Amino acid sequence: MKQFFITVAGVVVGSIIVSLLGWILLFSFIGAASAPAPQPNRMVLALDLRAGMSDQQPTNPFAALGGAPSLLDTLNRIEAARTDNRVRGIFIRANTGGMPAAQAEELRAALASFRTSGKFVVAHLQNDGIRMGMPGYMAIADSDEVWLQETSEVMPMGLSAEVTFFAGTLQRYRMQAQFETREDYKTAAANLTERDFTPAHRESVMSLMGGIYDNMLANIAADRGITVDQARAAIEATPFTAQEGVTRQLVDTLGRPEDAARRALELGEEAELVEFAHYRAPLQRGGRTIAVVQGEGAIISGPDEGGGVFADDSVFNSDRIAEALLEASENDDVAAIVFRVSSPGGSVVASDQILAALRTARERGKIVVVSMGDVAASGGYYVSAHANEIVASPSTITGSIGVVGGKLIIGPAIDYYLSTNTETISMGSPLINSFTSERPFTPEERAAFAGFIDRAYAQFIALVAEGREMTPEQVRAVAQGRVWTGQQALERGLVDHLGGFQVAVGRARALAGIGEDERVNLRYYPAQDNPFAAFGRLFGASAESVETLARINAVLSDPRARQALEALREDDANVRARADAMHIE
């Protein structure tokens, strides 16, 4: 009988082990799939820009399995390829669906730098939509050859902003939005409180779009070797045929993607086409370290819960980013910090936590240079204001120095349409229910909330004045919740230099006293998660237990271990046979 229970226990344990081995095999397959293959001595890199890309590299080690490379990863690979003698050129499938203008500017600058090393860029446009993204075209306009599929027309290009206003809808369905804004140009809640553009809102949008549009026209004109007037006439005449695109000098050659790829290989002189994501830059040793702290998405406080096992990081969590800044500042090997900010804003309290960490980093003697992504506005500007220098692309959306807050009142709608009745019992502060969605603010609640908004705005003005060495009056003149392009922000003293990530790294290098010819290593913060920890979160397991399973997998791969398991399996078969015999009797 004892032997019977031993056998049953063995079967249960064996089932568990088999289940776990399935996940171990998954790790093995992932590892095998990612094993680096030898790379040819002559390469043309194939870069596909048609899918949208995030700004920054995810800290989740599995996120890359489900998406395109980030902008920063792409820029770094282009820079590495620039000095890699194995790389002859880049073949690009251009984005025609739309991308942020600032992102397109950074790609344009990186490709221009790549070409200065004597290498080529061939780009292909395959537009089959109802419009053709102007930023995506600008990114590749300076290519040695721009191809367009003959059956693709040059579709309408330009900029468009659509805002849907819901104030009338809310009123119709017995709902209401109540918001406090500081000041008139802080229009984040206008789609809920207004029925149309206010004069300030319209002025702000027109100014922003005009600045971005004029900058793109200037870039396209310079890259295509035509005047700004010719570029404007060509863009504003779209749509037209592919052949007219050649006539108007927006396109060089007509042909399909395969034709353009063959042309790139011809220019590469018997080079092989290598997918951009598979390109591995030569290893470099030595050099000083520049930390890159990454922050992307809405700025929030609270626990850093993360997403699923394959989720990327699209939340600018104050705990995580503040810790990253402090960790980088404590590292004696770090010569300077580049803080990449890509955020439309968020929590005042969370922004203040991050700014405090940045100020601490500077107090510890670290140079901090902010590199703004496609948007670094409101809280995104708040966390940047005390850097040694701020670098923004000409079309970065920044500023929005203002505060907005409020609530959506839906209780009456629920009561009317669902016949509900909500009653509240409370104690403590008489303002404890200020933000209930059941009713509007009382006059006392509205006054208290307005006081908070006033104090937050005054604090925002003061910290910008201190960080940018301006008077509060000077800051108020360019604040008012107004959004600016990077170019407009430079003219108003809100940023120091125009350019993308590589320019920011150059400024950090210069301010830290690192020579132009000295090698630097970029170290990213927050550090990428331990893959075992990321995988373990999916099942609530610890990193150590998952790592132990991976180590078991390594042991099981040993031929000697396999022989031992075979012997154990034979013994187990004999035990099972004896147990079955006992059961039959």
Specify if 576 maps to a domain: yes
> Is the distance from CB of 79 to CB of 45 less than 8 angstroms?
no
Residue 55 to residue 71: CA distance in whole angstroms? 5
**What would the 3-class secondary structure string for 237-263 be?**
HCCECHHHHHHCCCCCEECCHHHHHHH
Residue 530 above 70 pLDDT? Answer: no
pLDDT of 64-90, one tens digit each? Answer: 555 568 999 999 999 999 999 999 999
Who contacts 202 (Cβ-Cβ below 8 Å, separation ≥6)?
Answer: none
Q: How confident is the model at residue 14 (pLDDT cuts 50, 70, 90)?
A: very low
Specify if 170 maps to a domain: no
> Is the distance from CB of 377 to CB of 483 less than 8 angstroms?
yes
**β-bridge mates for residue 451, sequence order:** none
> Is the distance from CB of 148 to CB of 112 less than 8 angstroms?
no
CA dist 205 → 197, 238, 341, 397, 478 (Å): 10, 23, 22, 11, 15
Q: How confident is the model at residue 546 (pLDDT cuts 50, 70, 90)?
A: very low
Q: 336 and 244 in one domain?
A: no
- Lowest average pLDDT, out of 21-30, 143-152, 345-354, 430-439, goes to 21-30
- What mean pLDDT, rounded, does the chain reach? 87
Backbone angles phi, psi at 91, to 5 degrees: -110, 125
The confidence score (pLDDT) of residue 569 equals 53
Specify if 351 maps to a domain: yes
CATH number of the structural domain spanning residue 58: 3.90.226.10
pLDDT of 479-517, one tens digit each? Answer: 999 999 999 999 999 999 999 999 999 999 999 999 988
**Mean per-residue pLDDT for 24-45?**
66
Number of structural domains in the chain: 3
Q: 57 and 115 in one domain?
A: yes
**Mean per-residue pLDDT for 415-435?**
95
Q: 142 and 58 in one domain?
A: yes
Specify if 371 maps to a domain: yes
> Is the distance from CB of 101 to CB of 216 less than 8 angstroms?
yes
Q: How confident is the model at residue 99 (pLDDT cuts 50, 70, 90)?
A: very high
The confidence score (pLDDT) of residue 582 equals 39
Residue 234 above 90 pLDDT? Answer: yes
Pairing of strands 367-377, 403-409: unpaired
Residue 52 buriedness (CB in 10 A; 0-12 / 13-18 / 19+): middle
Residue 47 to residue 134: CA distance in whole angstroms? 19
- Among residues 249, 278, 307, the one where a domain terminates is 278
Q: 53 and 13 in one domain?
A: no
pLDDT of 291-337, one tens digit each? Answer: 999 999 999 998 766 555 445 557 899 999 999 999 999 999 999 99
Specify if 163 maps to a domain: no
Q: 483 and 557 in one domain?
A: no
Specify if 506 maps to a domain: yes
Q: What are the E-state strand segments in 349-419?
A: 367-377, 389-392, 397-399, 403-409
pLDDT of 130-150, one tens digit each? Answer: 899 999 999 999 999 999 999
Q: 114 and 256 in one domain?
A: yes
The confidence score (pLDDT) of residue 128 equals 83
Pairing of strands 145-148, 253-254: parallel
* Global confidence as pTM: 0.85
Specify if 293 maps to a domain: yes
Between 261 and 286, the higher pLDDT residue: 261
Q: 21 and 110 in one domain?
A: no
Q: 59 and 24 in one domain?
A: no
Q: Retrieve residue 137's tokens.
A: 């075209």
The confidence score (pLDDT) of residue 270 equals 86
Q: How confident is the model at residue 13 (pLDDT cuts 50, 70, 90)?
A: very low
Tell me which amino acid residue 540 is: G
For 539, the domain range is: 2-35+532-584
Specify if 111 maps to a domain: yes
Q: Convert 485-500 to b/e letters by CB count within 10 Å (16 or more is b).
A: bbbbbbebebbbbbbb
The confidence score (pLDDT) of residue 516 equals 85
C-alpha 23: how far from chain center: 30
Q: 261 and 302 in one domain?
A: no
pLDDT of 432-448, one tens digit each? Answer: 999 999 999 999 999 99
The confidence score (pLDDT) of residue 204 equals 96
The confidence score (pLDDT) of residue 116 equals 96
Q: 395 and 536 in one domain?
A: no
The confidence score (pLDDT) of residue 62 equals 56
Residue 452 above 80 pLDDT? Answer: yes
- Lowest average pLDDT, out of 48-52, 160-164, 277-281, 553-557, goes to 553-557
Q: 54 and 113 in one domain?
A: yes
Q: 323 and 267 in one domain?
A: no
Percentage of the chain surpassing pLDDT 90? Answer: 76
